[in-house]
Structure 1
Amino acid sequence: MKVAVAGGTGLTGRHVVQALRDAGHQPAVLARSAGVDLVTGAGLDAALAGVEATIDVSNVTTMKRAEAVGFFERAGRQLLDAAARAGVRHHVVLSIVGIDRVRTGYYQGKLRQEEIIRGGSVPWTVLRATQFHEFAEQILERLPGPVAPVPRLTVQPVAVREVAEALVDLVGGEPQKAAPDLAGPRVESLPDMARRLVRTGTVRRRPVVPLWLPGAMAHGGLLPTGPGPRGTQTFEQWLAGRRG
């Protein structure tokens, strides 16, 4: 089966492309480097020729509501409209656990993306997953000072490879609409994850100071609330790979 991957050159997308190949599918990457612009729609129709299913793991790096909503609104509509024209039978989208409880600017964009999918004509499945093991590193990279004030959050990190494999499993099946939430095997403290990562020496060494945040985010808002699939790789195992 030929499957188009929106955002196929990113962190998640690279794993999805490999998982598709491993499963015997033919991946087609939708990215600017491949001549496709999701926001304007340029190159989409040609790239979706012969495609039976799509997996959307496209992303934008921002915490600003207007930018996030704008990106997911435009890219989501362009991709869904092009998929409908191409006769795509299944559209699978990666989303995030807790976006309807934790109302950050970026999560507002993801909610808008889900709304567009639900209102479209292409049969769909949305998989919400928890934060990746890379989450602590991504937070540290955005904090340039001598001390890292890391939000005091409880998360259940999952391996991005396992998320990619779950998306590929879903795309080969029938559309489910909302799939059960996917999470990692263990609940972790984000500041503790950051400290353990700093100790590996793979990121800049500096003190990590827990930063309290109000609202649902500080009270388990990013954790799954019901049963669903769980990954197997722990954060400690992921760290061991980093050390190696």
Structure 2
Amino acid sequence: MKVVVIGGTGLIGSKLVGKLGEHGHEAVVAAPSTGVDTLTGAGLPEVLRGAEVVVDVSNSPSFEDEPVMSFFRTSTSNLLHEEAKAGVLHHVALSVVGTERLQESGYFRAKQAQEDLIKASGIPYSIVHATQFFEFLKGIADAATVGDTVRLAPVKIRPIHSDDVAAAVGRTAVGTPVNGTLEVAGPDEFPLDELIRKGLAAKNDPRTVVTDPGARYFGAELKETTLVPGPNAHIAGTRLADWLARQQ
């Protein structure tokens, strides 16, 4: 099976390409460095020729409201247009658990716009909603930092290892389109403030994490269950404590 991986040089994309190759599939890396640019459409007709599945794990280089919306609208529209012409049978996209509940955030509004374009395209699709990756703990902290203080709400979160995300996306890509959304999360649930406190301590990061129920998450107000998946989510196996131990 030929699977084109948009964003195939990134954290998830590179792992996904490897996993698909291990299972005998032709995984094709599509990224600006390989001559494929979804923003301009350059290289898309060529790379999609003969592809049965397209997996989009690309991300915007900017999280600012206007650039991120432009990125996801333009790249997704170009990609879906060329997929329709190429006869692609399954479009898979990676998104985030809670996207529909985080619409105060410009980033998540852009992700919702991406999902809406996919659903309206007429191409069979599957959207994988993952919780935040272990590797993104520093990014969460950075976004909530003022001076040396990190303010975070004590809401629930189930972080996940990027390997487990790539495995879930890979299983979805070679399966039957669900024409809906699948959720995947890690095995352990933490309060968000405690999670980031653990992550920073493991890296000897001196910032202080302050528990603030009103703290926003990338601009969005959080409720207790905003960031956690529903009861039918696939629960991955890698525990945060084991991952942190390996990092040290």
Preserved CA contact (<8 Å) 1:36 1:47: yes
Match in the other structure for 1:17: 17
Bigger CA drift: 141-150 or 80-89?
Answer: 141-150
Pairing 1:182–2:184 present:
yes
Match in the other structure for 1:239: 244
Bigger CA drift: 209-218 or 163-172?
Answer: 209-218
Aligned 1:1-244 pairs, distance under 5 A: 1-103=1-103, 104-142=105-143, 146-152=147-153, 153-200=155-202, 202=203, 204-211=205-212, 212-213=214-215, 217-243=222-248
Alpha-carbon distance, 1:118 to partner: 0.8
Amino acid of the structure 2 residue aligned with 1:182 = V
Preserved CA contact (<8 Å) 2:126 2:182: no
Alpha-carbon distance, 1:219 to partner: 2.1
Amino acid of the structure 2 residue aligned with 1:71 = F
- 1:144, 1:35 → 2: CA distance? 37
Amino acid of the structure 2 residue aligned with 1:225 = G
- 1:224, 1:230 → 2: CA distance? 10
- 2:197, 2:128 → 1: CA distance? 30
- 1:37, 1:180 → 2: CA distance? 27
1:188-240 C-alpha deviation (Å, 9 max, x unpaired): 1222222222222x363232223433675242211113322111111111111
Preserved CA contact (<8 Å) 2:38 2:78: yes
Amino acid of the structure 1 residue aligned with 2:148 = V
Bigger CA drift: 93-102 or 215-224?
Answer: 215-224
Amino acid of the structure 2 residue aligned with 1:126 = I
Aligned length: 242
The structure-2 alpha-carbon separation of the partners of 1:33 and 1:203, relative to structure 1 and needing over 3 Å to count, comes to: farther
- 1:121, 1:161 → 2: CA distance? 30
SS in structure 1 of the partner of residue 101 of structure 2: coil
Alpha-carbon distance, 1:65 to partner: 2.8
Could you tell me the TM-score, scaled by structure 1's length? 0.91
Alpha-carbon distance, 1:142 to partner: 4.6
Amino acid of the structure 2 residue aligned with 1:210 = T
Alpha-carbon distance, 1:117 to partner: 0.5
- 2:157, 2:133 → 1: CA distance? 9
SS in structure 2 of the partner of residue 181 of structure 1: strand
Amino acid of the structure 2 residue aligned with 1:115 = D
- 2:149, 2:55 → 1: CA distance? 35
Bigger CA drift: 61-70 or 80-89?
Answer: 61-70
Could you tell me the TM-score, scaled by structure 2's length? 0.90
Segments of structure 1 that go 5 or more residues without pairing to the other structure are: none
Amino acid of the structure 1 residue aligned with 2:239 = T
1:56-78 C-alpha deviation (Å, 9 max, x unpaired): 11101444332222111100011
Segments of structure 2 that go 5 or more residues without pairing to the other structure are: none
Preserved CA contact (<8 Å) 1:146 1:207: no
The structure-2 alpha-carbon separation of the partners of 1:61 and 1:151, relative to structure 1 and needing over 3 Å to count, comes to: farther
Alpha-carbon distance, 1:35 to partner: 0.8
- 1:204, 1:155 → 2: CA distance? 21
SS in structure 1 of the partner of residue 231 of structure 2: coil
